[in-house]
Amino acid sequence: MPVGTSPAAVNLASALEPAHLELARSPLHVELPGDVRERVARCREFVLEVSGSGRAVYGVTTGFGPLVEFEGRADGAGQSDNTILHHIVGHGELLPPAVTRAAVLARLFSLAQGRSGVSERVVDSLTAMLDTEFAPAVPRLGSVGASGDLQPLAYVAHALRGNGNAFFRDQLLPAGEALARAGLEELTLDGRDALALVNGISVTAAALGLAVAQAVRARRTAELLSALMTDVLGCGTEFTSVRLLAAFGHPDVADTGAAIRTWLEGSTPSGERPLQEAYSIRCTPQLIGAAATSVRHADEVVRRDLNGVSDNPLFFPETGEVVHGGNFFGQPSAFAADQLTVALAQLGNLAERQLDLLVDPRRTGGLPPMLSPLPGQHHALQGVQISATATVAAMRRAATPASVQSLPTNLHNQDVVPFGTQAAFTALDQTRLLRHLHAGLAVALRQAVHVGARRPQAPRLAEVLDRIADEVPPIVEDRPLDTALGRVADLLDTVASEVEGAR
């Protein structure tokens, strides 16, 4: 029996959602209904019939890519070897096991549609792997997101066959040893198995799906922290007016305004603030709401990718068709990931500017500089702000679109490519950087109350502030804050999930 089973489960007959991808970081039971197994077997039989009939089928009877004009190897096992081995040339840092496992889950859902012609043992192997703490070791660089994520998915197949390296319980090991510890058997491939495993955009879809799941929380966190800042400083709330935001005409902006109003219920402005606040307070509904629109678009795109079939060719046993085309071309996800990256960078800009406002006594009504109880002797948020500045700079640099960087390759067989994999990885990177910025802002708000700002009047905000305070004692003397920022980032994710789940 595989080691490390878990009660978390998904069903291959259901729709795959970004939240399911996050479950895959731990052992995940994937239910394989009989009708799904039946359609996989039916398509496999059809592929064997077609390939034995003398009919040309890309990757089954032919070479790969521009070598399609040449015959492939006669035996299916040898053809599978070639498919994988010539792609084991990736490099760069290894993907986190959580990302790789999410990619396996995404690939499994595509193969389970019964259009790729894989053997049942492939589906069973991926299912068994997800039920353990095994994860293939996959280098980050190598995919152009066209003809699928060939190289990273080749590393997945390579490790499942007992070659290369893999993680077990987050320890990097030779793949054969990791399989043994997980209680898994080495995967045997023939026919179209190998090409079906690698010829899709499942790594791209997984990375984008994980980014979307975190971006949803980031949007709610931005609303929470903007409301908390408004209350702590005693700002007016006219900028959240229902009629004002309805007149703007953007539903997500109105929704953000409603969320901020809900957080602020029970709070009364101090009457001591300017008539019009800085944009980092006054324009938060417009900024966060616009980001929410981009998040929602990315969510819609990635759900289609996760529940569609990315492969070439596709097989339709019911009509006897083998259809060659480009369903491995990750352009939709590339565009969506780039748009999401830009939106996340702007949320980062907002958090950094809000932090800057809080540490500036000229704009807080007299709170001490850097929110230090003894300025000069202790520096409180000074290091946090410098780190935030560096983080925002990194986010801005990364916001250059990947989807327009097309370079011809593969003897001009792949003469246009979307670079969706790189776009998705960047979007996922942005979510991690934004978590750091939000944590720094939350610590600053907690410290602001300690050095003289008012305690939030809104009961829900006061409760959140208390939860932050439980994680981070007031800064009385300078001390390291890096681990505290990590704890607060986790707490903010928890609070945002609670809010999103209640909507």
Segment 161-188, tens digit of pLDDT = 999 999 999 999 999 999 999 999 999 9
Of the candidate ranges 37-46, 48-57, 382-391, the one whose mean pLDDT is the lowest = 48-57
pLDDT tens per residue across span 185-202: 999 998 899 999 999 999
pLDDT score for 450: 98
- pLDDT at position 67, please? 79
Res 2 pLDDT > 50: no
What average pLDDT does the segment 322-349 reach? 96
Domains of the chain: which residue ranges? 9-200, 208-310+324-471
Confidence at 55, pLDDT banded by 50, 70, 90: confident
59 — pLDDT class (breaks 50, 70, 90): confident
pLDDT band with cut points at 50, 70 and 90 for residue 418: confident
List C-alpha distances in Å: 47 to 75, 80, 121, 410. Answer: 14, 15, 15, 26
Burial class (CB in 10 A: 0-12, 13-18, 19+), 328: buried
More confident residue, 127 or 411: 127
Q: Is the confidence at residue 462, as pLDDT, over 50? A: yes
Q: For residue 87, how many other CB atoms are within 10 A of its CB?
A: 22
Provide mean pLDDT across the span 225-251.
Answer: 98
Q: Which of 48, 7, 11 is nearest to 307 (CA)?
A: 11
- Per-residue pLDDT at 410 exceeds 60: yes
> Mean pLDDT, to the nearest integer, of 447-454?
97
Task: For residue 221, give the 3-state DSSP assignment.
Answer: helix
Name the least confident of 68-72, 281-285, 299-303, 412-416: 68-72
pTM for this entry:
0.95
Query: Tens of pLDDT along 268-317?
Result: 999 999 999 999 999 999 999 999 999 999 999 999 999 999 999 999 99
Mean pLDDT of the chain: 94
Cβ proximity of 136 and 163 under 8 Å: no
Per-residue pLDDT at 4: 44
Nearest CA-CA partner of 104 in 184, 173, 217: 184
Share of the chain above pLDDT 90, in %: 85
Q: What is the pLDDT of residue 242?
A: 98
Average pLDDT over residues 12-36: 95
Report the alpha-carbon distance of residue 452 to residue 346 in Å, rounded: 30
Buried b (16+ CB within 10 A) or exposed e, 25-64: bebbbbebeeebbebbeebbebbbebbeeeeebbbbbbbb
Domain 9-200 has CATH 1.10.240.10: no
Q: Do domains 9-200 and 208-310+324-471 have the same CATH topology?
A: no
Question: Residue 1: which pLDDT band, with cuts at 50, 70 and 90?
Answer: very low
Query: Measured between alpha carbons, how far is residue 82 from residues 189, 324, 479 in Å?
Result: 11, 20, 56
Highest mean pLDDT of the ranges 8-17, 212-221, 418-427: 212-221
Q: How confident is the model at residue 407 (pLDDT cuts 50, 70, 90)?
A: confident
Q: Say what the pLDDT of residue 346 is.
A: 98
What pLDDT score was predicted for residue 5? 42
Q: Which two tokens stand for residue 216?
A: 């949803």
Question: Rounded mean pLDDT of 406-435?
Answer: 90
Strands 171-174 and 165-168: antiparallel
Tokens of 393: 């700079």
The pLDDT, as a whole number, for residue 79 is 78
Phi/psi of residue 254, each to 5°?
-65, -40
* CATH no. of 208-310+324-471: 1.20.200.10
- Residue that wins the pLDDT comparison between 74 and 267: 267
What was the pLDDT predicted at 3? 45
Residues designated as active site: 58
Radius of gyration over every alpha carbon of the chain, rounded to an integer in angstroms: 26
- For 101-114, the pLDDT digits (tens) are 999 999 999 999 99
Average pLDDT over residues 392-396: 98
pLDDT of residue 378: 95
Note the pLDDT of residue 7.
58
